[in-house]
Amino acid sequence: MIPPDIIRPEIAALSAYPVQSASGFIKLDAMENPYAFPAMLQARLLARLSEASLNRYPSADAPELKAAIRQAMSIPAELDILLGNGSDEIIQLIALACARPGASLLSVEPAFVMFKMIAKFCGLKYVGVPLKTDFSIHIEAMIAAIERDQPAVTFIANPNNPTGNCFDRTSLHRLITTAEKNHGLVVIDEAYFAFSRESFLRDIAQYPNAVLMRTVSKLGLAGVRLGMLIGRREWLQEFDKLRLPYNINCLTQAAAIFALEHYDALLLQAESIKQERSRLTTMLKQIAGLQPFPSDANFILVRVAAADKIFNALLSRKILVKHTSKSHPLMANTLRLTVGTPAENDAMISALKYSISL
C-alpha cells in the first residue's frame, strides 16, 4: 500500500495517457506516416547505425544533428535549436521551467491532450478557451483569458490536433503580441507542418516572446523520438537547464542525421499523404450521414451520427481510428481518421460505409 500523503493528489487523480494495442489492426489512430523508411535507403541507414558507439554516452549537445536539422528545415541563423525525446519532452521542459507558484498554462479547447496533462504534471493551473463551433480560434476570448489569467505560457498547435485546421495568421499574431504585453510566452507547435501550407518559422525571430516546436514523428520517424524547439537563445538556454543529460540517444542521433540527409525522400512521402488526404476527403464527403472537416494535417476529423457504434464496427473489422467524441463537448460524435496508404484508406472507407448501413 502506498501511504496516502506521498503521491500528489492531482497525479493520483490522473489516468496515464492511453495507448491502445494495435496488433493485427489497420492502424489509423495516431497520425503516423503509413510508409516505411524508403527501401532504397534502408541498407545505408543500417550501415550508419552500426557505426554508432553504443558503449559511449551520446553526444550531449548533438551539434551534428542540429546542423542537419538547420540545413534540412532552413532554420534562420539567428535562432537556436533545443532537442527533445519527442516534442512531448519539450512541452514538459517548458512547463517545468514556467511552473512558478500560481502560474498557469493556456491553450485552446479541444487541443493536443498533452498540453493539459503536462500542465498537471508540473503543477501549473490549466486554462482552456473553447474554439468556435467551426474550430476557428476565438481570438477575443483568448485575448480576454490572457489579460485575465496572465498565463506564463500559451500552447497553440497549428495545425491543431484533433481538429486538423490551421488558425488564422492575424489572430495568432494578435495572440502573441497580447501575450507579450502580459509577460507571457507563446509556443507554436508545428507538429503537422509537412502537411500544411502555413508556418511561423520565418516570423518567429521577430517576436521576443514566441518559440516554435516541430517533430519528425509525422514525417515517418515516430519511432525515432525526436522533437525540436526553435527560438531565441535567451529562452532556449533556460529550458536547456532542465533537459536531462544525453536525452537524445546515439541511435536516434545517427538515424535522424541520415534521414535528414534524405529529407526530400521524407517530404515526398508527405506529399503523397497530402494527395491521399484529398482523395480520402472526397470519398468521405460522398458517404451520407458523415461530415468531414477540412484538414491541413495528416488526419481528418469526421462527425457521424452514432460515433460509438461506428467506432466499434470499425474495430470489429480490424480498423483502429481515434474515438474523439468524449474529449470535449465540441467534439461530440466525432472520429479522427489518420490518412493511411491508399489500400488502408480504401479498407477504412468500405468499413465506414458498411458500419453506417448497420
Q: Which residues bind ligand PMP (CB under 6 A)?
A: 31, 86-88, 112, 157, 161, 189, 191, 215, 217, 222, 227
CB of 271 to ligand PMP, least distance (A): 20
The residue whose Cβ lies closest to ligand PMP is 86
**b/e for 238-257, b at 16 or more Cβ within 10 A?**
ebbeebeeebbbbebbbbbb
Q: Which is nearer to ligand PMP, 193 or 313 (CB)?
A: 193
CB of 11 to ligand PMP, least distance (A): 20
Q: Which is nearer to ligand PMP, 65 or 283 (CB)?
A: 65
Cα–Cα distances in angstroms (integers) from residue 80 to residues 56, 121, 233, 353, in the given order: 26, 27, 6, 49
Cα(345)–Cα(224) distance, rounded to whole angstroms?
25
Q: Which is nearer to ligand PMP, 159 or 292 (CB)?
A: 159
Cα(314)–Cα(355) distance, rounded to whole angstroms?
7
CB of 215 to ligand PMP, least distance (A): 3
Q: Which is nearer to ligand PMP, 31 or 304 (CB)?
A: 31
Q: Which is nearer to ligand PMP, 190 or 344 (CB)?
A: 190
CB of 177 to ligand PMP, least distance (A): 23
CB of 224 to ligand PMP, least distance (A): 9
CB of 101 to ligand PMP, least distance (A): 27
CB of 227 to ligand PMP, least distance (A): 4
Residue 227's beta-bridge partner residues? Answer: 84, 215
Q: Which is nearer to ligand PMP, 215 or 324 (CB)?
A: 215
CB of 279 to ligand PMP, least distance (A): 23
Q: Which is nearer to ligand PMP, 30 or 265 (CB)?
A: 30
Q: Which is nearer to ligand PMP, 219 or 284 (CB)?
A: 219
Contact 41, 262 (CB under 8 A): yes
Contact 82, 236 (CB under 8 A): yes
